[in-house]
Amino acid sequence: MPKTRPHVIVTRKLPDVVETRMRELFDARLNLDDRPMSQAELIEAVRDADVLVPTVTDRIDAAVLTQAGPRLKLVANYGNGVDNIDVETATKRGISVTNTPGVLTEDTADMTMALILAVPRRLADGIRVMETGEWKGWSPTWMLGHRINGKRLGIVGMGRIGQAVARRARAFGMQIHYHNRRRVPTAVEEELEATYWDSLDQMLARMDVISVHCPHTPATYHLLSARRLKLLRPEAYIVNTARGEVIDENALARMLEADELAGAGLDVFEHEPSVNPKLAKSDKVLLLPHMGSATIEGRVDMGEKVIINIKTFADGHRPPDRVLPSML
């Protein structure tokens, strides 16, 4: 990195306090109108920058990275996931990649719990009735949903967010089950009273609610495939605040349409920002516009992580949140 202030190009509008700090510390070029960059603009940016700060919607793939200029030494992602970046290609070209882990755990877990509550209790249906003026008064048999107390929650991916969801769900009286690449420490299982399943198939077949919390990698693409979704009981619900690509969205839509699942709460989608038309029109689905981490506090914390990673790297040290291909 140059001894002068590094030239940092930011691809999207960030919170004002974050942008102001970046201008104070770096030679920062901001995107004040928040218009997503095209691939050609991203290529122009990597040719010119010392540091690129993309977001999860920017595809920093091999086609972009192979056009990078000799100055580019760091891609400091403004986001927890790095599935938008070809980390292997970046590493081979001597470009470090960082992310912002940990800061969005509580926000995403809050939103997940909101969906776990909202879908079985038919909150979206209730809102629609009030908005259309259809409500005629209370009835003992109308707008009935299901309680979550005592129900089995199956968590797919028991990392920081999965564990935070488990803690919230325990407070609502749910029984915690999980599948993960590696079993969590015994102390964590005991705290959460969690049951581990080494077989994802067996867990899916027995749960009342499934909540997805694994990253999107080649290994997790359509992890919940059509075959696996068929294992779910017709009374089950599925919630996803992780990545849309983890679920076979077409298969999910078909099952909901055929009454083979009770409902779904989705904050992420396979082809964002496009939403499967069958999901969009289904009255069994509560859809949110990828807002699981959308809090002011979370976005500012993300920006501070990005700044720390850039400053540490510019000072000649290993950034604290570096991502390597072996970690994916």
Q: Packing angle between helix 105-118 and helix 160-171, nearest 10 degrees?
A: 50
Residue 84 token pair: 């938008």
pLDDT tens by residue, the chain, 328 residues: 556 899 999 999 999 999 999 999 999 999 999 999 999 999 999 999 999 999 999 999 999 999 999 999 999 999 988 989 999 999 999 999 999 999 999 999 999 999 999 999 999 999 999 999 999 999 999 999 999 999 999 999 999 999 999 999 999 999 999 999 999 999 999 999 999 999 999 999 999 999 999 988 889 999 999 999 999 999 999 999 999 999 999 999 999 999 999 999 999 999 999 999 999 999 999 999 999 999 999 999 999 999 999 999 999 999 999 999 987 7
Q: What confidence tens digit (pLDDT) does each residue in 149-166 have?
A: 999 999 999 999 999 999
In angstroms, rounded to a whole number, what is the distance separating the alpha carbons of residues 146 and 171?
17
Cα dist from 228 to 58, 116, 175, 202, 232, whole Å:
30, 20, 21, 10, 7
Instruction: Please report the pLDDT score of residue 286 as a whole number.
Output: 97
Going by C-alpha positions, the residue among 103, 84, 83, 87 that lies closest to residue 95 is: 87
**Other CB atoms closer than 10 Å to residue 105's CB: what's the count?**
19
Please state, in angstroms and rounded to a whole number, the distance separating the CA atoms of residues 87 and 61.
Answer: 8
Q: Which residues contact 29 (CB under 8 A, 6 or more apart)?
A: 7, 8, 9, 10, 49
Angle between the N-to-C axes of helices 16-25 and 296-314, in degrees from 0 to 180, rounded to the nearest 10:
10
CA 243, 237, 213: angle at the middle one, nearest 5? 30
What integer pLDDT is reported at residue 309 of this predicted model? Answer: 98
What are the residue numbers of the active site?
A: 243, 272, 290
**Residue 231 contacts residue 255 (beta carbons within 8 Å):** no
Strand, coil or helix: 239: strand
H or E stretch at 312: helix 296-314
Q: Name the pairing type of β-strands 74-76 and 237-240.
A: unpaired
To the nearest 10 degrees (0 to 180), the angle between helices 123-132 and 105-118 is 70
Q: What angle do CA 64, 268, 182 make, to 5 degrees?
A: 85
Look up tokens 């470090």; give the residue: 96
pTM over 0.85: yes
Q: Which pLDDT score, from 0 to 100, does residue 4 have?
A: 81
The model's pLDDT over 225-267, given as tens digits with 9 standing for 90+, comes to 999 999 999 999 999 999 999 999 999 999 999 999 999 999 9
Residue with tokens 């409902």: 263
